[in-house]
Amino acid sequence: MLFRRLWYLLLLLVFYVFINIHFSTRNLNPDQSSISESRFHTNSSYEPKQYNEQFDNDDVVFLIITGKPNQDDRIPLQQQTWMRYTTQTYIFSETASGRLPLIVLPNITDSYASNGPKFWDALQWAWERFQNRAKWFAKVDDDTFVNVHEIYKLLKQKDARKFTVYGRCGEHFLPETHVSQETLPKNWTFVDGGAGTFISNYAMSLLNLHGFLNKSKVLQRHGSTLFGFQDASFGEIITEIARRETLRYNRTFTSPFICEDRRLQHQCDPKHPEAKFCLRQRCTTLHRCRKDLMLFWHRHFSMRRLGT
C-alpha cells in the first residue's frame, strides 16, 4: 500500500512539472524574450518585441526637461496636478535643487538653447533603464499640462511595436539635412516639441540601433543647429532613419509621424481660439501653462472625469 501511494505521488509530480514547462514555453518566441544590448549595435538585426494587450501606467515613461531659471516655479505646479497620476516621471536639469527630485545632467549650461542636448541625454538615460519595460517614452516641457488619463487611453490604442512618433506637427521645413527633399513624401512634416513628443519603444530601438542615442554623435552631425532647433534636428534624424529602413527592407517611404494638431495644443489660455477646443473636447496636452493656468486645466479635466 505504501509503495502504491509513493508511485501515485511520483506520477503527480511528473505531471505537474510537464504542465508548468508546457505553459511557460508555448507562447515564448525570440521577440518576447529579453533583448540583450548586443542586438542594438549597428548592422545587427532587430525586430520589435511582441507586447501583451494589457496596458498599465508603467508603460509610459515621462521625461520633463527643465532648467535653473524655471524649475523651482514650474515643476511644483506639475507635481500638484498631472504628475500625481503618473508612476514613471523623471525631471532633467543642469542644476540641482534642494526642493525637487531632479536628475542633474553634467556639462550643460542653463540657457534655453541647452534643451537640445538635455533632450538627447534624457532619451539615452531612459532607454538604458526602460528599454525592456516601457512601451512609450514621452518628452514634455516644464510648462506642459498633461491630461494623463486621456494620454493613457490614446497610447493604449497605438502599437508600440511600430516605428511611430506621436505629437503635434508643425509646418516646418527640415533644416540642412542628409535626406534629399525629392525623396520625401508629399507634405512631409514632423512633430514639434512643446506640446509633447511620444516615441514608441520600437522608434527608440531604431534611434539606438542607428547610433543616435548618443549626444556626441548628434552634436557631430548637427553642430549648433541642435541648440537652436531641437525639434527640427530630432525630426531630421527620425526622417533619416525612416529612409534607411525603407532602403533596408525595400518598402515604401512613409512617415513615422502621427500628427494630432487639435488635442495637443501649443496654447494654454482658455480664451485663446485654439485652446477653446479643449474646453469642449478632452485634449491630451496643453503647452505654455504657467502659474494659474496649470491649476485651471487640472480642475477642468478633473470635473469632466467626475461628470460635473
Strand-pairing partners, residue 145, are 286
Among the residues of 85-159, which ranges form H helices? 115-130, 148-156
Under the banding of pLDDT at 50, 70 and 90, the label for residue 31 is very low
pLDDT tens, residue by residue, 256-303 = 988 887 888 888 999 998 888 899 888 999 999 988 999 999 999 998
130-144, 190-204, 251-265: least confidently modelled range: 251-265
Across residues 244-262, what is the average pLDDT? 84
Q: Is the pLDDT of residue 71 over 50?
A: yes
Between 103 and 180, where is the model more confident? 103
pLDDT classification of 52: cutoffs 50, 70, 90: very low
Cell numbers for 123 = 532619451
Average pLDDT, the chain: 78
Average pLDDT, stretch 195-223? 88
Q: Looking at residue 211, what DSSP letter applies?
A: T
Domain edges within the chain: 57-306
Split at pLDDT 50, 70, 90, the class of 175 is very low
Question: Looking at residue 16, what is its pLDDT?
Answer: 53
Residue 199 binned pLDDT confidence (cut-offs 50, 70, 90): very high
User: What gap in Å lies between CA 173 and CA 78, rounded to an integer?
Assistant: 32
Most confident of 106-115, 217-226, 289-298: 289-298
Query: 287: buried, middle or exposed (CB in 10 Å: 19+, 13-18, 0-12)?
Result: buried
Given CA atoms 302, 294, 226, 169 in this order, what sign does their dihedral have? positive
Cell numbers representing residue 71 in the block = 524649475
Of the given ranges (77-81, 173-177, 280-284, 300-304), which has the lowest mean pLDDT? 173-177
Longest dimension (CA), the chain: 86
Q: What SS3 state is found at 77? A: helix
Give the 3-state secondary structure of residue 100: coil
CATH 3.40.50.300 fits 57-306, yes or no: no
